Amino acid sequence: MVDVGPPFTNSLTTLDTLLPMPVDPSSHSDEGEETIARIRSFRSPSIISDRFILACTRASLNAQPPLIDVALLEVTSSSPVEDIQETLTINERGFDPMAVEIPADVAEQFRPNLVGGSAIIARWQGIGVSTGMWLPISRGVTELAGIATLVEFRRRGFGLMTVVALASSALLTGADLLFLSTNDEVAHSVYHRAGFFDVSPGPGATK
């Protein structure tokens, strides 16, 4: 098994200097038609047209203080299969609490999907509680996807920490524009707290 390095336990303590937040979180130089155009060049408009689309840049990312007893682990294409299993299982159970554990062979088959990207697992007291991944960067743009927190661990800040860790990992790897999509109002609020801003009003919204 390949050692992918220590968990990101202390990564968020330095984000306020690595990724400074402007005084006004709503002031973004990258908001508008150019942002939408770059996102559409990454992801088909037909796929994202019926969802809230949010974007984030280095300037807008809102660093968060670390949570007690939480370690953040990066999962890459060279990670042990057990870590890939864990992130896939958390993702499945985040949407379906009754989902079974992802088998090792399925995790191995998923491994190529992590090439050029990365996943994050948030572990509380050694238990994986939240996960997500960012996709391979194209022309400075990447999408955050598969973000999920186990039902019994929601509303405790784990999802927010995972989103910020994913965003910072992608930005530090070379992305300059991140985006994600959701049709869930609660998730929408969490993404705002992380520093993501709306670039599409979402389903049924009016301007």
Residue 201 CB-half CA count within 13 A: 4
pTM, whole model, 2 decimals? Answer: 0.83
CA nearest neighbour of 90 among 3, 26, 154: 154
User: What pLDDT is recorded for position 45?
Assistant: 60
Beta bridge partners of 141: 138, 177
Alpha helices in the chain (DSSP H): 15-18, 33-42, 45-48, 81-95, 104-110, 158-173, 185-194
Strands 177-182 and 141-149: parallel
Percent of the chain with pLDDT over 90: 69
Reported residue count of the chain is 207
User: What pLDDT is recorded for position 43?
Assistant: 79
CA nearest neighbour of 98 among 144, 155, 146, 152: 152
Residue 114 CB-half CA count within 13 A: 23
Domains in the chain with CATH codes = 30-200 (3.40.630.30)
| CA dist., res. 35 & res. 57, Å (int) | 10
Q: Report the chain's mean pLDDT, rounded to a whole number.
A: 84
Contacts of 139 (CB under 8 A, 6+ apart): 38, 41, 42
pLDDT in tens, 93-125: 999 999 999 999 999 999 999 999 999 999 999
135 secondary structure, DSSP code: P
CA nearest neighbour of 66 among 124, 25, 131, 139: 124
Question: Is the confidence at residue 24, as pLDDT, over 70?
Answer: no
Question: Is the confidence at residue 12, as pLDDT, over 80?
Answer: no
pLDDT in tens, 64-76: 888 999 999 999 9
**pLDDT band at 49, cuts 50/70/90?**
low
User: What pLDDT is recorded for position 31?
Assistant: 54
Answer whether 42's CB lies under 8 Å from 104's CB: no
| CA dist., res. 181 & res. 9, Å (int) | 27
pLDDT in tens, 133-148: 999 999 999 999 999 9
Which of 126-130, 159-163, 184-188 shows the lowest per-residue confidence on average (mean pLDDT)? 184-188
Contacts of 116 (CB under 8 A, 6+ apart): 77, 135, 136, 137
